[in-house]
Structure 1
Amino acid sequence: MSNPNEVKSTLKPAYDHVIVGGGVAADKAARAIREEAPDASVLIISDVSDGPLYRPGLSKDLWLKADATLEGIDLGTTETGAELLLGTTVTALDPEAHAVTTSDGQQVGYGRLLLATGAAARHIDTPDDDRIVYYRNADDYRHLRSLVSEGIRVAIVGGGYIASEIAAGLAAAGADVSVHFPDSRLLEQMFPDSITSHLAEVYESKGISLNSGFFLSSIHAGRRLTLESRSGEKVEADVVVLGLGAVPNVQLAEEAGLEMEQGGVSVDETLATSAPDVYAAGDIATFSDPILGRRRVEHMANAERSGDAAGRTMAGTRTEYRYTPLFWSDLFDDGYEALGETRTNHRIEEVWNDAHDAAVLYYLDGDVVRGVLMWNTWGAVPKAREVMQASKEGRLKVSELAGQITPGG
C-alpha cells in the first residue's frame, strides 16, 4: 500500500504539540488542535508503519467486504497539517525538560504532549514462527491475509471480542476455522446462555468449529503447527491466530513517573496527567466516567471522544471529558451496541421481543444498572445512558426496566 502519511524529512527541534501514538485518538486530537489553533505545529510519533486507521475495519470490513482496502480505512490525518513520524518508538519522556527521545536517538521538545499509545496484543511464550499471528495493526492484517487462502486451516485461540470477530472474517475469506477457548461457550464472559447458545449455532452453521474447555499449554512448530492443551488434546493447523486480549502501553508513562491508576495513566477531568502539560487519551487513560466512576476503556468511541477533548484543551480551549463510551460489534447477521460493565459476573435482566431475535440486557450490581447491551436493537444508546443514570440515583426500580427500551427498535 502506498502510504499517504509520509513524514517530512526533517524534524523541528520542538513542536507546539507532540502526540505519541498513531491510532484514532491521535487523529482526533490532531483534528481538534487544528480547529482550535490552526497555526500550531503538531508532530505525531507512531511505532507502526501506517498512519492512523479506522481500527474496526481491520477485523470487520477488510475481511467481510470485497471492495474494502487499507486505503479505504486510512483516516487521512495529514489533512490536519500534522507531521507524522512513523515506525519510530518513543523511548523516553522527560516531563521536566518538556522533551521526548526516539528510538533513533532524536530528541524533540514539546509545548504540550498527548500520550495516546493505545494497547498491544497480549503475548505468551510461543515459537518464533511467521505462521503464529498476534492481531492488532495493519501490518498484522497484511501478514495474516498473505497466509490465508481457500481451505487453509486456521486455529484461533481465545474466546473474546477479537477472537469472535476475526473468526467470522477468516471464515468469510474461505479459511477452515476453528476456535479454541477455556470457557464453555464463545463470549461467555459477556453474554448469557440465551445469546451464547444462539451464537454457537450461527458459528457452526458457517463452518466454524468451536472447541470449549481448551486451555492452551504449548504450540509446536513443524511442517504444521500443533496446539496442545493442558489435558493433552492436540490440534493441527496451518496458521494460528492468538486473540488473548490486550495490554495497555503504559511503560513510557510509568518510566516518566506519571501517576498510574487501575493499570492506566491517571487523568483529571480535562485528561491532564500528573505531569505538567502532559495529557493521556484512549486505551491508556483512567478517567472519571460520569455514570460509572473511575475506569479505563479499550474501545473505539472512547478513543475518538477522549482524543478530541484532549486536543481541544491542549490547544487552549479547556474541554472536560464527561462521557460514558459505547462499544459495538457485528457477528454475522447479528449485532449489538452496549454501554458500561457488560460482564456476566453481574446479574442480568433480559428483555426479549416476541420473535426472540432482539433483546435489551441490563447488567446489575445489586439493584443498580452498571451496563446495558442492546442485541439487534439500534438507536437506543442515549436512552440506555438515561436508564443507567436514573438507576444510579435510585429513580428507577429493577421492576421498571422492562418498559424502558423496546427490543428490536
Structure 2
Amino acid sequence: MRFDYDYVIVGGGMAADAAARGIRELDATGSIAILGDDAEPPYERPPLSKDLWREPEGAEPFLDTAAATGAQVHTSTRVTAVRRAQRVVVANDDDEYGYRALLLATGGRPRELNLGPSREVVYFRTLGDYHRARALTGGPVIVVGGGFLGTEIAAGLATAGAAVTLLTPDAEIGAGAYPPGVVRRIRAAFDQHGVQVVTRARARWLERPAAGRVAVHAGTDDHPMAFAAAGVVLALGIEVNAELARAAGLVVDDTGVRVDQHLRTLDPFVFAAGDIVDYPDVRLGRRRVEHVDHAQSSGACAGRAMAATLTGGELPVYDHTPFFWSDIFDLGYEAVGRLDASMQLVEDWAPGREDEHGIVYYVKDEGLQGVLLWDVYGKVDEASALLDELHEAGSLPDPELLRGRIALD
C-alpha cells in the first residue's frame, strides 16, 4: 500500500518526538508520519533506569506525540529500505511511504552475547525491557556492565529488593570517568546497599546450566570467572542502527551516520538525529553522543531543518553541546562535555565536603573538555558557557584558575 507525507521520520524514540515538535515550530500543517519498530509510541527513556524504579506505580512516560503534533505514529513498523531517488521508504516489506523530507532517527540496539533475549536474559533498552527486568526482582540478579546505564539498573534493582551482583570490566566502577574520590564514594554506596561488585570481570558468554538459571562466564582463559542467578540484565552499550543509511548510499563512518552542521546527510532531503549521528560539535569536534539531551536537541533541530527545507526558510545550525545526568541511589550529578579520567582533572570541592559536593573540570591540551557537577544542580548553563569560552587548545595555560569559576552554593 502507498502512503504519502510531507515528512517521514524513521524511528519512534525521543529524537522522533522532538523532530515532530520541531517541524511544527515552522510548519503547522505539513503531514508527518513516524515509523517506529517499538511496540509503544514515543516515550521518555531516562525513567526506565531512574524514576520508575523508585516510583513503580507512577505513570509510564509516554510523550503523547500524536496529540501534541498531529503526527501519525505507526508502531511495530519495520522499515526495510530507503529509496532516495524516488523519495520513498519501504516498511513491513511492501508498504511504501512517500516523503518530501526524511529523518533517520533509528537509534541503536543493545549489544548481545551468545544468548538472545528471553524471560531470564534482558538486554536493557526499551520500556518492555524495564518490565522484564522488574519481573526478576524476586530472585538474585546479575547486572553486566559498569557504565552509566549498568550502574543505574543495578541500583534500581537493589532498591526494588533484588539481590544484585554487578559485573564491570573496569578496575573499579566509574574509574574511566570520575576522579578516585568519587569512584570510592560510588563503590561505598553499592556496598552499603548490599550489591556485590565484581571488577575486572568482562562478560564473554552466557549459558543455562539448569531450568530458571543463567550463568555468566567472564574473565580470561587464564583467569575464568562464572556467576549464576535467576536472571541477567545486560547493559553492554549499543550497536548503531545505520544499516538503512548505508544501504541508501549515505555516508556511514566508524561511529555513525555522517551529517553536517544542519544534521543533513549528503542528500539535501534526508536528515539524521539522535544516537546514530556523527556530527560536528562546535566545541568538541566531530563526535557521536547517546545521551537523551542530544536526542531531544538534535531531533528538534533536525525537525526545524526539515521544515525550513520545504518552506524555504534558513536552515538552523546544531550548535548544542549536550548535557547528561545520572542518579545512583542517593548520589547524583549533572555534566556537560566529555568525562575522561585520563585527562587532567581540576577538582573544586566545597570546604569540608570533599568528594561529596563540588565540581570537577576535565582539561586536555590546555583546553576545557568537560565539567562534572557532582551533587551540584542548576549550573549546567554556566558549565556550558565555560566550555564555550575555554574549549580551544591553549585556552587554559593554568588550569588551576578554573577553581571558583562556577560558584558552589
Q: TM-score when scaled to structure 1?
A: 0.92
Matches within 5 A, 1:172-191: 172-191=159-178
Residue of structure 1 in register with 2:158 after alignment? 171
- Which of the numbers 14, 32, 40 marks the counterpart of 2:22? 32
Residue of structure 1 in register with 2:82 after alignment? 93
CA-to-partner distance for each residue in 1:126-155, whole Å, 9 max, x for gaps?
Answer: 266431110000121222223333xx1000
The AA in structure 1 aligned to 2:66 is T
Matches within 5 A, 1:10-21: 13-21=3-11
The AA in structure 1 aligned to 2:41 is G
The AA in structure 1 aligned to 2:74 is L
Cα gap change, 1:197 to 1:260, in 2 (>3 Å): same
Residue of structure 2 in register with 1:216 after alignment? 203
Q: In 2, are the aligned partners of 1:95 and 1:276 still within 8 Å (CA)?
A: no
Q: Secondary structure at the match of 2:194?
A: coil
Residue of structure 1 in register with 2:193 after alignment? 206
Residue of structure 2 in register with 1:122 after alignment? 111
Q: In 2, are the aligned partners of 1:127 and 1:219 still within 8 Å (CA)?
A: no
Q: In 2, are the aligned partners of 1:127 and 1:220 still within 8 Å (CA)?
A: no
Residue of structure 2 in register with 1:353 after alignment? 350
1:292 aligns with 2:284: yes
CA-to-partner distance for each residue in 1:300-357, whole Å, 9 max, x for gaps?
Answer: 1111111111111211242211111101111111111111110122221211111221
The AA in structure 2 aligned to 1:313 is A
Q: Secondary structure at the match of 1:384?
A: helix
Cα gap change, 1:66 to 1:132, in 2 (>3 Å): closer
Instruction: State the shift of 1:218 in Å.
Output: 2.5
Instruction: Measure, in 1, the Cα distance between the counterparts of 2:251 and 2:269.
Output: 14
CA-to-partner distance for each residue in 1:253-296, whole Å, 9 max, x for gaps?
Answer: 01111012451111112111111300001111122212112111
Q: In 1, are the aligned partners of 2:366 and 2:395 still within 8 Å (CA)?
A: no
- Which of the numbers 60, 63, 66 marks the counterpart of 1:75? 63
Residue of structure 1 in register with 2:405 after alignment? 404
CA-to-partner distance for each residue in 1:50-106, whole Å, 9 max, x for gaps?
Answer: 111011011111111143232xx1000011110011111111011111011112421
* C-alpha RMSD of matched pairs (Å): 1.6
Cα gap change, 1:180 to 1:107, in 2 (>3 Å): same
Residue of structure 2 in register with 1:389 after alignment? 388
Instruction: Measure, in 2, the Cα distance between the counterparts of 1:28 and 1:103.
Output: 24
Instruction: Measure, in 2, the Cα distance between the counterparts of 1:161 and 1:335.
Output: 11
In structure 2, list runs of 5 or more residues that go unmatched.
Answer: none
Residue of structure 2 in register with 1:7 after alignment? none
Instruction: State the shift of 1:107 in Å.
Output: 1.3
The AA in structure 1 aligned to 2:388 is Q
Instruction: Measure, in 2, the Cα distance between the counterparts of 1:113 and 1:304.
Output: 17
Matches within 5 A, 1:222-241: 222-223=210-211, 224-229=213-218, 230=220, 231-241=223-233
Total equivalences in the alignment: 394
Q: Secondary structure at the match of 2:321?
A: coil
Residue of structure 2 in register with 1:339 after alignment? 336
Instruction: Measure, in 2, the Cα distance between the counterparts of 1:128 and 1:119.
Output: 16
In structure 1, list runs of 5 or more residues that go unmatched.
Answer: 1-10
CA-to-partner distance for each residue in 1:152-190, whole Å, 9 max, x for gaps?
Answer: 100011111110000111111111111011212112221
The AA in structure 2 aligned to 1:391 is L
Q: In 2, are the aligned partners of 1:360 and 1:406 still within 8 Å (CA)?
A: no
The AA in structure 2 aligned to 1:323 is H
Residue of structure 2 in register with 1:3 after alignment? none
Residue of structure 1 in register with 2:270 after alignment? 278
Matches within 5 A, 1:255-266: 255-266=247-258
Q: In 2, are the aligned partners of 1:62 and 1:68 still within 8 Å (CA)?
A: yes
Residue of structure 2 in register with 1:59 after alignment? 49
Residue of structure 2 in register with 1:157 after alignment? 144
CA-to-partner distance for each residue in 1:8-46, whole Å, 9 max, x for gaps?
Answer: xxx762100000001111001111212321111100000
Residue of structure 2 in register with 1:330 after alignment? 327
Cα gap change, 1:65 to 1:127, in 2 (>3 Å): closer
Q: Secondary structure at the match of 2:100?
A: strand
Instruction: State the shift of 1:227 in Å.
Output: 1.9
- Higher deviation after alignment, 270-279 or 214-223: 214-223
Q: In 2, are the aligned partners of 1:94 and 1:100 still within 8 Å (CA)?
A: yes
Cα gap change, 1:61 to 1:148, in 2 (>3 Å): same
Q: In 1, are the aligned partners of 2:35 and 2:79 still within 8 Å (CA)?
A: yes
The AA in structure 2 aligned to 1:17 is Y
Q: TM-score when scaled to structure 2?
A: 0.92
1:42 aligns with 2:41: no
Instruction: Measure, in 2, the Cα distance between the counterparts of 1:127 and 1:280.
Output: 29
Instruction: Measure, in 2, the Cα distance between the counterparts of 1:226 and 1:190.
Output: 29
Instruction: Measure, in 1, the Cα distance between the counterparts of 2:406 and 2:330.
Output: 21
Q: In 2, are the aligned partners of 1:156 and 1:167 still within 8 Å (CA)?
A: yes
